[in-house]
């Protein structure tokens, strides 16, 4: 079986990391995943994918040449010998769906998003693209029920929910990892480290945490914020920290190959997203036993340990600062890994192959 996965990049983000998690298991059974990505850069996961026999297509940018973009998509769909096309771009993958159907290939539309703040025109455009794309798709998949309802509307029940897959045991708390990470960034034992993991983007809203940190520092001088990940907003938020004169207390790690180790270094975890299809990082933080603070836009489907998660409206900056300061008092980081079985890469991989067999 050979499946083409269409993702933004293979740079280690949540979607592609989940796909690769399943791939590592399914490749042992001779199943091949190829990838189409929308960047010229070689992603950190590409070499591993190629080691399993994958082919990576780097699709030309629409902005540079729409004609070249269309030709590239058409050629892949026409000449690729695929059992199915699995597109993780939801309605934005319209041309992949169109050409897949034209050349007789089964196609999956998979949504990972849930835009809570969207203009009327944005919603209208989304709805039109979903309606058009649906004509050429054979199956719907979603990362959560909230995401399914957002994209597919009244047809949300037709969508198959596929949890993001990962090795859950890797995210258990480790004192060794905590000591190593904190030492490498010169974080002292008595420093209160607030952490966030994910792409640095407007929808992830990490800039909000920089603002909150400035409030916390008025009372707790040794508080620090660590932002794990990279993205388009990095420069802007570095400048924001400078303007607030707290640059020394904000750590930008960039992309890392072992994000699971960083959770152990944190004293509290935050997910202040304004738009989030699921919030996988919140699940990872709960496995680590962290006290977690999430925006009111995060779906309850991502909350497994209710006693460890506080949802706070984003407009209440004072409440965020107070809640985080209270978390400094300490707590036991105990986790029962069985509570997170539904996210295990083994279980999700079985679910995925079952859906492929159903499709074919």
pLDDT in tens, 177-207: 999 999 999 999 999 999 999 989 999 999 9
* pLDDT tier for residue 91 given thresholds of 50, 70 and 90: confident
Q: Residue 13 — very low, low, confident or very high, per pLDDT cuts 50/70/90?
A: confident
The pLDDT value recorded for residue 117 is: 64
Strand residue runs (E) in 206-343: 223-228, 250-254, 268-271, 292-295, 309-312
Cα–Cα distance measured from residue 165 to residue 17, given in angstroms and rounded to the nearest whole number: 8
Q: Which long-range contacts (CB under 8 A, 24 or more apart) does 354-357 make?
A: 355/108, 355/139, 355/141, 355/160, 355/162, 356/1, 356/3, 356/83, 356/84
In the chain, % of residues over pLDDT 70 = 99
For the chain, list the domains and their CATH numbers.
2-165+344-359 (3.40.50.2000), 168-340 (3.40.50.2000)
Crossing angle of helices 14-26 and 280-287, in 10° steps, is 70
- Residue 262 near residue 174 (C-beta atoms within 8 A): no
Q: Return the higher-pLDDT residue of 107 and 112.
A: 107
C-alpha 240/C-alpha 252 separation (Å) is: 13
Is 70 exceeded by the pLDDT of residue 116? no
Q: What local confidence, expressed as pLDDT, does residue 64 receive?
A: 87
Interval 282-297: pLDDT, tens: 999 999 999 999 999 8
Q: What is the DSSP letter of 38?
A: S
Give the pTM: 0.82
């Amino acid at each position: 079986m050979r499946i083409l996965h269409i993702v933004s990049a293979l740079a280690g983000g949540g979607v592609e990391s989940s796909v690769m998690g399943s791939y590592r298991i399914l490749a042992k059974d001779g199943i091949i995943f190829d990838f189409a990505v929308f960047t010229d850069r070689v992603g950190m996961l590409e070499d591993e994918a190629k080691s399993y026999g994958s082919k990576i297509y780097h699709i030309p940018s629409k902005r540079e040449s729409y004609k070249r973009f269309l030709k590239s998509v058409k050629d892949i769909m026409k000449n690729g010998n695929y059992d199915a096309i699995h597109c993780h771009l939801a309605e934005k993958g319209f041309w992949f769906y169109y050409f897949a159907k034209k050349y007789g290939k089964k196609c999956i539309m998979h949504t990972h998003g849930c835009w809570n703040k969207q203009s009327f025109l944005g919603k209208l455009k989304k709805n039109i693209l979903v309606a058009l794309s649906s004509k050429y798709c054979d199956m719907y998949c979603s990362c959560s029920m909230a995401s399914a309802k957002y994209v597919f509307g009244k047809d949300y029940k037709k969508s198959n929910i596929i949890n993001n897959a990962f090795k859950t045991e890797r995210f258990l708390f480790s004192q060794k990892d905590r000591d190593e990470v904190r030492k490498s960034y010169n974080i002292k034992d008595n420093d209160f480290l607030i952490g966030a993991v994910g792409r640095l983007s407007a929808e992830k809203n990490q800039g909000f945490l920089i603002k909150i940190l400035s409030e916390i520092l008025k009372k707790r001088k040794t508080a620090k914020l660590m932002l794990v990940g990279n993205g388009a907003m990095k420069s802007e938020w570095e400048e924001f920290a400078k303007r607030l004169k707290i640059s020394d207390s904000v750590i930008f790690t960039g992309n890392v190959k072992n994000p699971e180790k960083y959770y152990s270094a944190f004293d509290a975890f935050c997910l202040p997203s304004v738009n989030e299809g699921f919030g996988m990082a919140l699940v990872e933080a709960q496995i680590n036993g962290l006290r977690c603070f999430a925006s009111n836009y995060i779906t309850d489907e991502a909350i497994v340990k209710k006693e460890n998660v506080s949802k706070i409206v984003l407009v209440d900056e004072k409440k965020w600062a107070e809640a985080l300061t209270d978390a400094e008092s300490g707590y036991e980081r105990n986790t029962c890994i069985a509570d997170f079985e539904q996210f295990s890469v083994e279980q999700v991989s079985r679910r995925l192959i079952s859906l492929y067999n159903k499709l074919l």
